[in-house]
Structure formats: structure tokens, C-alpha cells
Amino acid sequence: MADSSGSNPQSPGFTDKLKSWLYWSWTYICTLWFAMVLTMVYVLRSPLKLQETVNAASVFLNTLTPKFYVALTGTSSLISGLILIFEWWYFRRYGTSFIEQVSVSHLRPLLGGAENSSSAGLFSSVNGDAEPRTNVAECKVWRNPLNLFRGAEYSRYTWVTGKEPLTYYDMNLSAQDHQTFFLGDTQQLRPEDSVMQKAWRERNPQARIRAAYQAIELNRECAAAYVLLAEEEATTITEAERLFKQALKSAGKDTNLVVYIKRRLAMCARKLGRIKEAVKMMRDLMKEFPLLGMLNIHENLLEALLELQAYADVQAVLAKYDDISLPKSATICYTSALLKARAVSDKFSPEAASRRGLSTAEMNAVEAIHRAVEFNPHVPKYLLEMKSLILPPEHILKRGDSEAVAYAFFHLQHWKRAEGALNLLHCTWEGTFRIIPYPLEKGHLFYPYPGCTETADRELLPSFHEVSVYPKKELPFFILFTAGLCSFCAMLAMLTHQFPELMGVFVKAFFSTLFAPLGFFADKMENFMPSCLWHQLANV
């Protein structure tokens, strides 16, 4: 059976070869056809009166004044300038050229071209199937383990700046998380649960708060309502902590609610300066619910331990979670790099290292930095304060700009505390890009950098933030082309207006030079072919 299928001329390999041969031959057929058309036009120039038509056109063009040419070139410059502005705006907003996108999406299939594999979909393989789950997981949106409190922190930012730090997409994801996490089985909803289900979906904060109070009126022990009030109505961390404690009393045996509330209480203790208490609460929570590792409570623990400067404990946590079988994060990779950089950074000097070479410890630190930068290349610019920070979103995309913002917002102080660590990062982080293959067909230490991060980050981060993009996209050809066309037409318009006679002489010389090879080729053809043959073809 295998032999018969392999010899079948209708097999996929034979079909692909036939298609490729047709595409290859079509190019040469078109070229031959075009050459034949030019030859026939030249042969039939007398019956078609091409010479008289060209002379008439020349007379007409000679009668035109320089003002016409100024208007023509000026209009061309204006139109190409408008196209340039639109193309630039579209590229900044969507990361691609509009003309290029339309050409690939609509014109190329009409012309019989094959669909480019790069535009066939982000996770499509050659045969149309989905890529392995590992690549899909790279573009999954995760809950930010250290997300701030809306009432006590995000709202304060809005009051001061008048800007909304959270996008609707981000808040909608949080509403879905809360409904799934707190309400569970929708078949057994109590009246207060139905009210809270609607409350999480409300877009208006005041409407959510009113719904929470309505749920409390139905049941004084509605823990989810106290959680919402702690998150959104409390204007201080102390007030939020009080409401979370009230919610914990009412949570009962609801595991999801208990885990969420205890975690937020630990974060309240961390923000209020009771760091040892926060560390104990996080350790107890991880010990009590070891199967809830997907909540990434260890990232809260790492940040608190770094604040205590308990670096041995930080290393112990990393030894458990920085495992090859577990999903990585910027917190894991950059904290590991920080610990190794801290051991050598206080005595590190680029000049001395260039003379004597790197020691083993310095090499380990540099490799750890390269590993972290490959995982998330956006973080260093925030740590080195080359890019301004904003409040982190409630959800992040691993390896994306949103994760970089969230990590740097909480960990910049820890890098500053380690003497020389930022200097070592500054001297070595860009060396990572010499290691990673380009274009990014394959990763070096991780999977190839996903292509979906820019789109997802633009949804997660506010519009006033300039999203960091990696790898940097080159300007599309059509933007460069329209920019050159606009500049060229504007220059012609100006020169024609200032020097009309000189430009006329220049244009005539240009076109005579341009068509000189055609004239030379025509003369050679007339000398090569018998005159009787040309006469007979003309009669035909």
C-alpha cells in the first residue's frame, strides 16, 4: 500500500511540484508575451499612425505653460503626502502597511499567488494545523500576581492625573475572573450571588459598589460583596484590609474565596510595612493550598523576601520554581539574574573586565542576564529608566511589555539596592541580541519570541503609554516609496516654478536619453531583418 500511494501521480508531492512548475513557467510566458506585444506595436506603427500620434502629443505638451507642470507636480506631491500620512498612521496603530495588507489579502489570491505562510496565522503550521501547545501558552494572558487595588491605588492615579490606568479589555478580563473564581457553579446561585454576578459585569464603578451593598442587604455574610468593596470602594490600604478581614469571616469553606482573600490580606500587610507578617501569610497559604501554584503566589513571596533582603530565602524559592518543566516569568528570570549580578556587581568594572576577561562568577551573572533578556527583552529599558513607568495592568502577557511594566514597577527598587547591579545590566543586556538568531526562526534558550505580544499589549496597556515592540519592525516599503515620491514631486514643483526654461530643457534631455536605447534597438532590428519582411508584416 505504501508503494502504491507513493507512485500515485495525484499525491501531494506531485501536486505541489506541478503547481510550482506552473508558477515558474507563468513568469516566463508573461515576459515572452510582453516582448511579442512590443514587437507587434513596433511593426504596426505605420498602420496605427503611432508617429503622427506621438507628434500630436508633443505639440500639445509644448503648448502647455510651466504653470500646468507646477500644478501637476504640486498635486502629485499633495496626494502622495496624504498617502504617506495615512500609511504612517496605519503602521503606528496596526504595525503593518495598509497597501501591503490589501495587496496580500485581496490582490494576491486574484493573481494566483500562494498564501504566504507568515500571514496564514500566528500559530498555523505548514499543513494548517495548530502549533504545539507550548507556543500557544506563550501568548496566554495571565492575571498579574501583584495587581494593585482599584480604589486605594488605581483611583488615586485617576484623581491626580485625570487618566484611566486600566483599559476596558483588562477590566473585562478581571470581571470574568471574578465570576469564575467566586461564583463557581451557576446552577446553584443564591439571590445574593445573582446580584454579584451582575455586579462584576457592570462597567460603572459606582454601579458595582451599589450592587455589592444590595447583595449585603440580601445576606450579611456575602463574602464576595465585601471583596468587591475592599477592591473598589476602599480608598486606603488600611480600609481595604478591614473589609478583607470581614470577607474572610464570611467566606466559610469556599476555597477560592479563602485563597483570594488571604492573598490580598498578605499584600495589604506588605504594603503597610508588615513584611515579615506578609511573608508568613504567603508561606502558610502556599503550604495549605499547594495545588494552586497557577496563582503564582511565589512571585508575591519573592518580592517580599527581596524587600527583607533575605537573599538566601529568595534563592531557595528560585530553586523550587525556576525549573525547566515549569513555565517561566520575568520575575523568575530577572530575580535569578539579580542574585548572580549582586555577587559580583559591586566590584565590576567594564574596563578591568575587558583587560583581564570575565571571571567565572561574572560570566555566570552575564549569562543569567542574557537569559532574562531573551525571555523578556522589554524589561531592561524600564530598569535602566530609559523608558517611563506606568501603573501595571491587572493582566499581563508573559514576555510582553505588560509583564515588563509589572515587573519593573515592583522590582526596580531591589535592583537599585544591589550596588552596581544596574551598571552590570547596562553593560551587558544588549549583548543578548547577538546570541539570538535573526530572523527569529528559533530561540536560543527559550521558544521563539511570539509574534502576538504587540497586539495583546496594546489591548492591556492604556493608550497614553508607548508600547515597547520587539523585534523592531522595519518601515514598510510603501511608506518609504510614498515618502520618496512626495519629496521628489515637491522638488520638481519648486524647480519648475523657479526655473521653467531650464527645467524644460532638462526634461527633453532626460526623455531623449531615456528612449535612446529603444531607438538604437529599433534601428538594429530594421538592419537585421529584410525590408521586404517588414513591408509584408505592415500589409497584414
**Confidence (pLDDT) at 203:** 86
Q: Is residue 350 one of the residues assigned to a domain?
A: yes
Q: What would the grid cell of residue 50 be?
A: 503611432
Q: Is residue 426 one of the residues assigned to a domain?
A: yes
Q: Is residue 474 one of the residues assigned to a domain?
A: yes
Q: Greater confidence, 147 or 352? A: 147
> What pLDDT digit, counting tens, does each position of 211-267 carry?
999 999 999 999 999 999 999 999 999 999 999 999 999 888 888 899 999 999 999
**Confidence (pLDDT) at 144:** 93
Tell me how far apart the alpha carbons of residues 511 and 162 are, in angstroms, rounded to a whole number. Answer: 61
> What pLDDT digit, counting tens, does each position of 427-466 carry?
888 777 666 655 444 555 667 777 778 888 989 999 999 8
**Confidence (pLDDT) at 226:** 95
Average pLDDT over residues 423-430: 85
Q: Which helix (H) or strand (E) holds 223?
A: helix 223-232
Predicted confidence (pLDDT) at residue 358 exceeds the cutoff of 50: yes
Kindly write down the DSSP assignment for every residue of 27-70, as one continuous string.
HHHHHHHHHHHHHHHHHTTTTTTHHHHHHHHHHHHHHS-HHHHH
**Confidence (pLDDT) at 324:** 62
Cα pseudo-dihedral 192, 194, 195, 199, rounded to 10: 130
Q: Is residue 444 one of the residues assigned to a domain?
A: yes
**Confidence (pLDDT) at 397:** 92
> What pLDDT digit, counting tens, does each position of 5-40 carry?
444 444 445 666 666 666 666 667 777 777 777 776
Residues ≥6 apart with Cβ < 8 Å to 359: 344
Which residue bears the cell 520587539?
470
- The pTM assigned to this predicted structure is 0.66
Tell me how far apart the alpha carbons of residues 55 and 34 are, in angstroms, rounded to a whole number. Answer: 25
Average pLDDT over residues 471-498: 71
Domain range for 475? 328-487
**Confidence (pLDDT) at 439:** 45
Q: Is residue 387 one of the residues assigned to a domain?
A: yes
Tell me how far apart the alpha carbons of residues 395 and 403 are, in angstroms, rounded to a whole number. Answer: 8
Q: What would the grid cell of residue 244 be?
A: 478583607
Beta bridge pairs of residue 396: 142
Count: domains in the chain = 1
Q: Is residue 62 one of the residues assigned to a domain?
A: no
Helix 477-498 crosses helix 66-94 at what angle (to 10 degrees)?
160
**CB half-sphere exposure, 253, CA atoms < 13 A:** 0
Q: Greater confidence, 402 or 67? A: 402
Q: Greater confidence, 539 or 365? A: 365
Q: Is residue 172 one of the residues assigned to a domain?
A: no
Q: Is residue 423 one of the residues assigned to a domain?
A: yes
